[in-house]
């Protein structure tokens, strides 16, 4: 039996946290169910070991045609696709220049490669770093995102390609979000550059296309080399057939023009929009440069804002890296009036955010059998605290370890009981 994925009507809740910008997720039900009847659920093997279906070959062909490359290759997971492509080509003696706010998949791939990694925070900084760290004896790679997942910035691909040609760098572009949000060919079409100037292109079937998997597109030689050497392609089961069949129906581009309203009308004393005006992925963060000591408090404040918005019918996401921020995905179908309503609610939530003092004192402790542990609970995430963070006016929740006795007069008969504790812990 096929069930629709539960969702709330727009009058109840605006779902602006996930990356399904085109609201496609429930449109795949019939396609996926029919494919499962014909092909089964999984492929039960890597692509090179009887795991390749005709659907995979058809999808790879369509991806290559869409981007204008000689060939393309499918991966069963977007995260492993990105770090597998990086580790497939970048080795320990190479040098990798990468944007400082790159997504976690890129950072993981760079780390696994063991290459010399050099981050840059802008075009001018990149030029300076290349002059210092460029290797004449080994290969030099440049890795960027078309649309940065963590900050919503759109990298200037024209300037990046000029630098690539000047210093003879090998350019890898991650189009996980820029395709198809910016154009039908991602940042390639947005900046109107030649696809041949990009050595390796990576993309996602797990974000704007809300399925699973990833892909890489390039020359036939580069793609065939991945079939033999990319860890995720060689050793992971291939993409399920029903995902491939659904992805074949997803090569359409719709412009979303309402996100720039945030840049015009979101005015806050402490928060600002840092994403690009053409990015439907809106990122809002604190205006001041936060120190390491204040990042944890700011993360709590961001979650507090998120929870307030949820109570007012707007569900947004939270980014923890590279700094705490709100993630708002402005989706197709939202009218300007609806977006303005969201902007007003976000502005109100930011202006009435919790104070630093409230954040510092809100500690949850779990207690069982007269033993307590101080923790800080943030949206179902638990962050550890040291003993010195105990405070008289704190909330307590129950847990079963860390030997810190509490007042014997407290009633601990009920497990998982939340209470307010007004006495010192000792």
Tens digit of pLDDT per residue, the chain (426 long)? 454 555 444 456 899 999 999 999 889 999 999 999 999 999 989 998 889 999 999 999 999 999 999 999 999 999 999 999 999 999 999 999 999 999 999 999 999 999 999 999 999 999 999 999 999 999 999 999 999 999 999 999 999 999 999 999 999 999 999 999 999 999 999 999 999 999 999 999 999 999 999 999 999 999 999 999 999 999 899 999 999 999 999 988 888 989 899 999 999 989 999 999 999 999 999 988 665 657 878 888 999 999 999 999 999 999 998 999 999 999 998 999 999 999 999 999 998 754 444 343 344 444 444 444 444 443 333 344 444 444 433 444 333 333 333 333 334 443 333 333 323 332
pLDDT of residue 292: 61
Which residue segments constitute the domains of the chain, with CATH numbers given? 25-247 (3.40.640.10), 261-354 (3.90.1150.160), 362-421 (no CATH)
pTM of this prediction exceeds 0.75: yes
pLDDT of residue 351: 86
What CA–CA distance (Å, rounded) separates 134 from 139?
9
pLDDT of residue 403: 31
Question: Which ranges constitute the DSSP H helices of 200-268?
Answer: 220-229, 231-235, 241-247, 261-265
The length of the chain in residues reads 426
| Angle, vertex CA 194, rays to CA 190 and CA 197, nearest 5 | 115
**In the block, residue with structure tokens 């039996």:** 1
- State the CB neighbour count (10 A cutoff) for residue 2: 8
pLDDT of residue 10: 45
pLDDT of residue 204: 96
Give the H/E segment covering residue 125. helix 123-133
CB < 8 Å & 24+ apart, contacts of 270-277: 270/350, 270/351, 270/353, 271/326, 271/350, 274/151, 274/152, 274/153, 274/325, 275/151, 275/152, 275/153, 276/147, 276/152, 276/153, 276/154
Task: Classify each residue of 269-294 as buried b or exposed e, where b means 16 or more C-beta atoms within 10 Å of its C-beta.
Answer: eebebbbbebbbbbbbbbeeebeeeb
Q: At what angle do helices 292-311 and 336-351 cross, to 10 degrees?
A: 130
pLDDT of residue 297: 82
Cis peptide before 365 (omega within 30 of 0): no
pLDDT of residue 380: 36
pLDDT of residue 404: 33
Question: Which ranges constitute the DSSP H helices of 134-217?
Answer: 157-167, 178-181, 187-190
């Amino acid at each position: 039996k096929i069930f629709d994925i539960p969702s709330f009507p727009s009058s109840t809740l605006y779902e602006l946290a996930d990356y399904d910008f085109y609201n496609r997720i429930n449109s795949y039900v019939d396609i996926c169910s029919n494919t499962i009847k014909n092909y089964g659920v999984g492929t039960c093997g890597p692509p090179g070991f009887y795991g390749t279906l005709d659907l995979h070959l058809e999808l790879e062909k369509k991806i290559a045609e869409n981007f204008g490359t000689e060939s393309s290759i499918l991966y069963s997971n977007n995260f492993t696709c990105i770090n597998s492509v990086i580790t497939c080509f970048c080795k320990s003696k190479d040098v990798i220049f990468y944007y400082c706010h790159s997504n976690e998949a890129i950072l993981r791939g760079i780390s696994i490669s063991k290459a010399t990694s050099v981050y840059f925070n802008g075009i001018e900084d990149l030029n300076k770093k290349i002059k210092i760290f460029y290797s004449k004896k080994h290969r030099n790679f440049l890795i960027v995102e078309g649309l940065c997942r963590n900050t919503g910035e759109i990298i200037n691909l024209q300037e990046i390609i000029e630098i690539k040609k000047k210093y003879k760098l090998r350019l890898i572009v991650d189009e996980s979000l820029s395709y198809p949000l910016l154009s039908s060919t991602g940042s390639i079409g947005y900046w109107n550059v030649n696809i041949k100037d990009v050595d390796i292109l990576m993309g996602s079937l797990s974000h704007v296309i809300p399925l699973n998997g990833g892909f890489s597109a390039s020359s036939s030689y580069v793609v065939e080399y991945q079939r033999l050497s990319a860890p995720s392609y060689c050793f992971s089961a291939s993409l399920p057939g029903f995902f491939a069949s659904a992805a074949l129906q997803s090569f359409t581009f719709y412009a979303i023009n309402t996100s720039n309203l945030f840049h015009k009308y979101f005015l806050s004393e402490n928060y600002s929009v840092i994403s690009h005006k053409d990015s439907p992925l809106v990122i809002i963060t604190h205006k001041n440069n936060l120190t390491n000591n204040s990042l944890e408090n700011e993360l709590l404040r961001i979650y507090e804002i998120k929870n307030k918005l949820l109570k007012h019918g707007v569900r947004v996401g939270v980014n923890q890296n590279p700094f705490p921020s709100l993630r708002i995905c402005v989706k197709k179908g939202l009218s300007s009036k609806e977006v303005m309503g969201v902007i007003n609610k976000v502005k109100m939530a930011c202006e009435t955010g919790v104070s630093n003092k409230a954040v510092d004192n809100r500690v949850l402790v779990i207690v069982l059998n007269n033993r307590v542990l101080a923790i800080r609970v943030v949206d179902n995430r638990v962050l550890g605290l040291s003993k010195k963070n105990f405070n008289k006016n704190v909330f307590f929740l129950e847990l079963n370890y860390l030997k810190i006795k509490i007042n014997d007069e407290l009633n601990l008969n009920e497990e998982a009981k939340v209470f307010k504790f007004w006495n010192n812990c000792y």
